[in-house]
Structure 1
Amino acid sequence: MTHATLYHNPRCSTSRHALELLRERGVEPTIVEYLKNPPSRDELRRIAQATGEPLRALLRTKQPEYLEQGLDNPALTDDQLLDAMLATPVLINRPIVVTPKGARLGRPLERILEVL
C-alpha cells in the first residue's frame, strides 16, 4: 500500500472523487483539510516542486479572490503567490495528492494515478 497525503476539501466533488479513487486503489490517505489546517509556506513550496510545475499551477483561478487580489498578474513572484495562498487558503487548488513518488494536482483526476 502506498502512503499518500490528500489535500482535501470535502465540499469539492473533485476532491471527494479523488478520495474515492485512492480508496478504490487500496490507498487510505492521510487527509489534510487544508481550509482548516493550511500547509505551511515550506510545505506549499515542496508540494509545488514535487509536482514539477510552477507554483502558479496550484492556484485556484476561478475563485473571486484570485482577481480581487490581482493574482492574474504574471509578474508576481512565487513569494507573493505563497503569501496570497497562505492568507487565503481557498486559493489553493485541490485535490492535491502527495506520495513518495511525487505530487499531483488532481485536475484531471486521473493525474493522481501517476504518483501511486
Structure 2
Amino acid sequence: MNTAEVVDRYYELANAGEWDAWCDLFTADQTMDEQLAGHVEGRETLREMMRGFPQTWAVFANVPRHIVIDGNQAAVVSHISGRTHAGASVEADVCNYFRITDGLISYMQNVHDSVPFAPVLGK
C-alpha cells in the first residue's frame, strides 16, 4: 500500500473497531508517541494495549478532516467522538503524524488536548 492507502485504512479500521487488523498496519518494530499512553515500541506491545480499547469505549469514531501526504509521510487533522461504557462523552480534535516504511506505519505521533479525555483517564 502507498502512504495514502495506509492512512485511509488506518481510519477505516479504527472506525470499524477492528483493532487487531489495525495493529497489522504497523511494522513489527514500530514506535508510537501517543498523547495519553506515552511512548509505545513494538507492534505486539501496541496490540496488547489495544485489547483493552473495547472495554473503555462503547462508541468511538476518529474522522479525518484534513490530510497532507508528502512521500512516505502524512499528517492528518481529525476529530474524535466517543462515549465510554459509563456514558461519558469525549469530543477532541487531533493531529496525527505518520511515517510509512514499505507499506506499513513505522512511526506515529498524535497530539491533542488531553482534557476531553479526563473521563477515560478517571479524572
TM-score scaled to structure 2, two decimals? Answer: 0.30
Which structure has greater strand proportion? 2
Which structure has greater helix proportion? 1
Larger RCO (CA under 8 A, 6+ residues apart): 1
